[in-house]
Each structure stands twice: as C-alpha cells, then as structure tokens.
A and B are shown apart, each in its own frame.
Chain A
Amino acid sequence: ETGVTQTPRHLVMGMTNKKSLKCEQHLGHNAMYWYKQSAKKPLELMFVYSLEERVENNSVPSRFSPECPNSSHLFLHLHTLQPEDSALYLCASSQDRGAQGEQYFGPGTRLTVT
C-alpha cells in the first residue's frame, strides 16, 4: 500500500493494557503527525515530529507516548488509558513542517477503551 498506512485499524483495550499504534509513510516526507478525532470535536493535534525530532506536544496526557525512530515511522504507545480516550487516531505526514503543502492522512486506528 502506498501513501500513509496505519496498524492496527481497530483496537479494543482495557484500561490496564499497554498497546502501540504504528504509522508508516512511503512518501519521503520529513514531518509526521498524530491526531485524535472524536465525535463532534475538531481534529486535535497531539504530536508533531520534524526530521525525527518532536517539535510540538499539545498538552497531551503522559499516558500517550510517541516515538519516531526514523522519518518513515511513527508510533504512539498507549498505557493506562481512560474510556474518554476512545476515538479515531489519525497519523499524517507532510513534506515539511509548516505551510509547504498538504498533509496526507492515514486511514486511522479506531480505538475503544473498555
């Protein structure tokens, strides 16, 4: 698959579990993003990485931990989540951080916390 891929597509986890979301981009981009999309809320930017360095952390709870081992891969490590963390988590990439062009989104991971 080309573009931006995310795995898993669906995830159900208990509040005491630890899981990771994976994102991979095949576009040669330098910036990658994690967003949270909840019903009736705007897209919430969680983290931004530019050239593998985190440049923004939008006051996200520490139970979400990002990792960017290289410019093509982005992870979101989850632990001790709350039911209100249930949402669609979208990964995106862009050529560079900033207004240089569009963001390409992945298909998302639908997360349910029980």
Chain B
Amino acid sequence: GENVEQHPSTLSVQEGDSAVIKCTYSDSASNYFPWYKQELGKRPQLIIDIRSNVGEKKDQRIAVTLNKTAKHFSLHITETQPEDSAVYFCAAYGGSYIPTFGRGTSLIVHP
C-alpha cells in the first residue's frame, strides 16, 4: 500500500518568511496530491491540490510542486502571516483511489 512521509513535524517561522513542507510517497501509481489545513479545534480544509500531469500549481501565496521521478511533493507558503498558523496535512491517492495522509506539520508563524 501507499506510504506517505511528511517533514518537518514542526516548523516555526517569523511573519513574512517563507515556509516549505515536504512529503514523499511510495506508490508510483499515485496521481492526486491534496494539501489540507487544520486550524486548532477546526476541521481539515483543502487549500491546494495537484495532479500527476502537472509539475507546479500556484494560488496566491500558496504553491505546490510535484516531482514524480523522485516521488515527492512540497507545499510552499510565501509571506507567511499569523493566520497561516495551523497543522498542514499532505495526502496521496494511490492506485486504490484511497487517500493516505502524512503525519502533519505544525506551522507556527510568529508576529
């Protein structure tokens, strides 16, 4: 089955800095990679996703890059703000169409 590793587990940055979270996956058949944000006490919500036929996708301050050869994908947040503080989860959908989630990264943005 699919195995997803996510790093780092905790990331602390100053407001205005960039943040990068990386995930690796094992199933070469995986073709869909969403990122979810979960604020404290709230439900996870999709913030950006990428499919295997695209190498990069951007939405304002958030971008995701995918390297199919190396089987890793990354979330990039630029000009971080305190409201970006949350736990971020990556996921990979393998050949079974069932998502496997990473362990999550706790992002802390200091004002």
Which A residues are closer than 8 A to B by beta carbons?
4, 40-43, 45, 48, 56, 90, 97-99, 102-103, 105-108
Mask, B78-111, CB within 8 Å of A = 1, is: 0000000000010001001111111110000000
- Nearest CB of chain A from residue B48's CB, rounded to whole Å: 10
26 pairs from A and B in contact (CB 8 Å cutoff): A4-B43, A41-B103, A42-B89, A42-B100, A42-B101, A42-B102, A42-B103, A43-B44, A43-B89, A45-B98, A45-B99, A45-B100, A45-B101, A48-B98, A56-B96, A90-B44, A97-B98, A99-B32, A99-B51, A99-B93, A103-B34, A103-B46, A105-B44, A107-B42, A107-B43, A108-B43
The one of A40, A45, A105 in contact with B103, judged by C-beta atoms closer than 8 angstroms, is A40
* Bound form: Cα–Cα A45–B93 in Å: 12
Nearest CB of A to B67, in Å? 18
Given A41-B103, A42-B103, A99-B31, decide whether A105 and B45 contact each other with a Cβ distance below 8 A: yes
**Contact B97 A99, beta carbon cutoff 8 Å:** yes
Taking the closest CB of chain A, its distance from the CB of B109, in whole angstroms, is 21
Cα–Cα, bound, A43→B87 (Å): 12
Residues A105 and B43 in contact, CB atoms below 8 Å apart = yes
Q: Which residue of B lies closest to A3 (CB)?
A: B43
